[in-house]
Each structure stands twice: as structure tokens, then as C-alpha cells.
Amino acid sequence: MVNFNVSRNNMSGALPSFDKGSCETSMISFGQDHSFLDVEDVQIAYSNIPVWGPQMNIPMGSMENFVIAHDFSWNQFTGLLPLFSVGDEFLATKNKPAYRLLLNNNMFNGSLPSDLVSNCNDLLSFSMNLSANYISGEIHESLLLSCVPMTQFEASYNQIGGSLPPSIGNLKMLQCFDLRGNKLSGTLPNQLGNLRLVNSILLGSNSIEGSIPSELGRLTSLTVLDLSHNAITGSIPASLSNAKNLEIVLLNNNNLSGEIPSSFSSLSNLTVLNVSFNNLSGPIPHLQHLNNCDFSRGNNLLGQCPDPSSNTPLDPHGDGQWRNKKSLIIAVVISTSVVLCISLVVVVVSVHGKKKFGRLSSLRSKVVVTFADAPAELSYDSLVRATGNFSIRNLIGTGGFGSTYKAELAPGYLVAVKRLSLGRFQGIQQFDAEIRTLGRIRHKNLVTLIGYYVGEAEMFLIYNYLSGGNLETFIHERSSKNVQWSVIYKIAFDIAQALAYLHYSCVPRILHRDIKPSNILLDEELNAYLSDFGLAKLLEVSQTHATTDVAGTF
């Protein structure tokens, strides 16, 4: 991968136009802190970037999955956005490059240009991040039409206005569309329903009007929809429930009316729904993974919150009071009878079969929830057996969050079971939603969360087992081994990729807050994997632990 990265420095001034000529570095100021990059460093780096000069001799036939990444983020660059270009020598190859451009968290200003990359349509894919600048103007149709391979369009927290052009529907490869915190107005185009690969549409905190397009229900890859803090009217389209992979839906602080579609109860992956502070009415449907009704506050005409264990929405109106009273009387009589019968059964069972009944109910309640394909052997009992009832013989690690045990559930099928410290846990009622968010996160350099168990006396997480130990052990044993520099570099690069995913691509973005060698695991080929990500949000950390803040996402 060709990677030019000057992010998180103290660089300022205008960014020159990076066409096919050389760079004029005299336009860039480097601040007074000598611990940051100096002019010579950047001149050397610029002279070796193929976009601005073909000095690097890379065999063109070896550029499979070739990615060009230019990162200018987290500096103090000012002025207009320049025009970028990828060298013709790379576009002429059979395997065209992907291009990632990061300009976020600077002070760029002026209007959003109609053309950002001169040869964008010749790329395999293009992703850009312009977030947290002072960019204004409107989104030109030419910007979208000239860059059809765009996969990521992030420009949140700028001053971009106007309405979304219908040509947004031409970006058939788009996966992430983030324009939160801008000044967008007008209505949402129906063409958003053409973005079949998009997984995140984030348009919160704008001034968007009109209704929610029913075409959004076509987006079967959509997992996060944020339309909060706008001026959207009309009803929530029932067709939205056809987007079966929805996990987070934020519609709060709008002017929505009508009912919450009853079909939302079929969204099995929906863990976060917020429709608060609208004008919604009618019954609240039973939602599978929401344990309280905070998501619906500020809607005075909405019905009562249904019992989480019930599938039946409640009547929100005061009409038919006699019918309600009659139903209540019948319910009380039946309930009283049932309670008496159950009490009698419990007394009998307690006398004649207390131990057997206790064992059966315990077995029924001990359910392991999984997020991925798992063998039939994965159950509470099998995990306890495979760990020797969490015997010290199978202990492979301890840390601030608990102890980890090795478990072989079937010949050749190994898992790592992290038994959490209950005293550090932060609210059992929120555990399900939080852990499901972690369970859907997948990256080649993150340890895979396979499942979890929550009981009254214990809880544990189940991960894939990595046989190479952790980096802490590797460092201590390195002196007795002939470890090549390339191996050390590969480990560092693997973890950098994992962190970049958690910080920039993951939804919600996650701060690990406990990076240390023991949390970096290795496989037999010394590929590195980051573990314990997101646990700071789940668990309360003690004062003696390295992390004192609970917040783990942003």
C-alpha cells in the first residue's frame, strides 16, 4: 500500500494542488514544535509519492488490491480544497487502485468543489473524509457524477447547505454517507433507495424537511439510519421494516406524526431506536431488544410502553372505559386463580421434587447467545465442562475485566472464555444492547466475539481462540528467538489497522482505552489481533486499573 500520512501534526497553511507535477512545500508552515514534522521530512515524503511523481519503482503486475492512502487529517490546514489526481501509470494497470483521502479535522473553508479527484471514475473505489472543517456551499451533481466509484462520503460537521441532489442515487458502490451537523435543507430524494450497498446514512442535525422516503426500505444492507434533529414531517413509513439489517434508527427531534409501524417488531437486529420528541400517537409495538421506553418520550399521544416480555401493544386511548374495566376485572380474577394454582403447585413440587425442579429450571435459564455460526457443542454446560468449571489449569490470562480460560468444545474447536468480574459491571439492563453492538463488529485484526452468557451469579464472553499467545509474552521471549524486523513491523501494522477501523469506520466509533501488550493476541503465523475492545463501555473500571474513564465510544 502506498501511504502518505502527515496526520496529527501542527501543519498549517494552504494545501497545494496535487496534480501530476511536483509539490511546492513552501506553502506549508510547520509550527514551532520540533517534535512535529519538519520541511525536509515532508519534501522527502512528497518526492516518493506516485501521485506527484513516478519515482517509486513498483512492478505494475504486482499491484493486486493496491490502495493509495493520503492522510492530511488533524492538522491546521486552511484555504480551499485543492484538486487531487492519481498518476496515470497506476490507472493504466489491469488492477486499478483504490484511493482513500483523509482531510478531516482541519480548517479548510470555501465551497465544496464540483470536482475533488480529477480521474475518480477511473479508480477501483474512492473514499474521502472531509469532516470537521468549515466547508460551505452545496453538493454539486457533477461531484457525484464524476466519482461513481465512491464508497465513503464523510463530510459531517461543516457548513454544507442546499438539498441532496437526486444524482446521489448513482453512487451504487456507496457504503457510508455521513453529512451530520451541516445546514442541509429541502427534502430527501427518493433516489437514496438506489444505494443498495450502503450500511450507514447519517444526516442528523440539519434542516431537512419533507417526509422519509419509503424507498429506504429497499436498503437491505442498511444498519444505521440517523435522521434526528431535523424538521422531517409525515409518518414513519412501514416499508422501513423491510430493511431487515437495521440496528440503529435515530428519528428523534423531528415533526413526525402517525404511529410507530407495528412491523418494527420484526426487526430482529434493532438494538437502538429513538423516536423521542415528535408528534407520534397510537400504540407502541413490542420491540425485541429495547428494555425501556426512553426512546419514545416527548410524544404525548403515544400509548403506554408495552411489557418487554409481551408481544401485544397497549391501547393508548381512554375510549371504551367499560371494556377496559371489564377486561381488567377478568384479568384480575384469572390472575388470582392462576397465582393460587401456581402457589399450590410450587408447594407440592417443593415438598416432593425440589432438587429436580431446581435443576430443570436452571438448565432452561442458562442460554448462551451467539452472534455467528457456532457448533451445537456451544452451550453453557459444555463451556463449564471444557474449562473444568473454570479451573486454574485452563486459565490463560487475567486482567482488569476478569479472567480468560481455554475451552475445547469439540476436537480441534477451541474458544477463549472471558469470565467477567461482576463487581465491575455497569448495569445489567443495558448489557444486551451494548454487547450486541460489539457482537456485530468484524475486522480481520479484531478478536471475534462469538457469543455471551449472562446469569444472576456470573457472566462471560466467548471469543475465538488464538494459539500464539499475547504480545507481552512474545516481547519477553523475543531475546531467545531470532525475530525478524518484518515480523515486528507486521504486528504493529495489524494493530494500527484494527485501531483505524475502530476509530474511523466502526459505527459507533470505539475508543479502546486499554491498549497494552497483553491485549494484543497472536496466531500461529504471528498475525496480530486486538482484544477487549469496547469493554470499557460495558464494565466499570476500578481506580487501580489503567483506565479510569468508563466511556468507550464516541
State yes or no: is 514 an active-site residue: yes
C-alpha cell at 219: 436498503
C-alpha cell at 227: 435522521
Integer Cα distance of 422 and 426 in angstroms: 9
Q: Are strands 248-250 and 272-274 parallel, antiparallel or unpaired?
A: parallel
Please say whether the beta carbons of 90 and 50 come within 8 A: yes
Within 8 A by CB and 6+ apart from 107, the residues are 76, 77, 78, 133, 134
DSSP single-letter state for residue 49: -
User: Considering just the CA atoms, what is the radius of gyration of the chain in Å?
Assistant: 28
Within 8 A by CB and 6+ apart from 502, the residues are 443, 446, 509, 510, 511, 512, 530, 533
Within 8 A by CB and 6+ apart from 16, the residues are 23, 24, 27, 28, 82
Task: Identify any residues that bridge with 248 across adjacent strands, giving them in sequence order.
Answer: 224, 272
Q: How many residues are listed for the chain in this entry?
A: 554
Please say whether the beta carbons of 237 and 259 come within 8 A: no
- 418 marked as binding residue: yes
The runs of H, that is alpha helices, within 31-70 are 39-46
Which DSSP string corresponds to 87-124?
Answer: -HHHHTSSSPPEEEEE--SSEEEEEPPS-SBTTGGGSS
Given the residues 71, 494, 514, 532, the one annotated as active site = 514
Integer Cα distance of 371 and 432 in angstroms: 12
- Three-class secondary structure of residue 15 per DSSP: coil
Residues with catalytic function? 514
Binding residues for ATP, by number, are: 418
Provide the annotated binding site.
418
